[in-house]
Amino acid sequence: MNWDAIGSIGELIGAIAVVITLIFLTVQLKQNTRSIRASTRSQHTEAVSNSLATLQNQDFASVMITGFHDQESLSAADKLRFGSFLLRLLRGWEDAYFHWRDGDYDEADLA
């Protein structure tokens, strides 16, 4: 066996190693993408759940009902609570929109 044959075998082995590495990286990238999407969905679901859990407080639920029907009758503190809650919901949905726009959600997530 001469040096040219050994060099050719080395190049073949190197090419095979590169192809295997590219396949491995493709699989890893797909798994990472799935993981990031799942994490994004979980974070959004948790944020919405936490916001809605606030309504379990009867006093706050009364503030929300009054705020939607007659904001003028709310005290300054209750107006702040009402507005802060709405802003928190808006920011959560805004975050979800940006994730959707950036492609972090699959079409199946939106159905």
Reported as a single tens digit per residue, the pLDDT across 11-25 is 999 999 999 999 999
Q: Look at residue 43 and tell me whether its pLDDT is greater than 60.
A: yes
- pLDDT value at residue 18: 96
Tell me the percentage of the chain whose pLDDT exceeds 70: 95
Q: How sure is the predictor about 107, in pLDDT bands with cuts at 50, 70 and 90?
A: low
Surface-to-core class of residue 48, CB atoms within 10 Å of its CB (0-12 exposed, 13-18 middle, 19+ buried):
middle
Q: How sure is the predictor about 89, in pLDDT bands with cuts at 50, 70 and 90?
A: confident
In single-letter form, the type of residue at position 51 comes to S
Q: 79 and 71 in contact (C-beta within 8 Å)?
A: yes
Tell me the percentage of the chain whose pLDDT exceeds 90: 38
State the DSSP H helix or E strand holding residue 9, giving kind and residue range, or none if neither.
Answer: helix 3-53
Q: What is the pTM of this model?
A: 0.60
Q: Which two tokens stand for residue 38?
A: 């799942």
Q: Look at residue 76 and tell me whether its pLDDT is greater than 60.
A: yes
Distance of alpha carbon 110 from alpha carbon 103, whole angstroms: 11
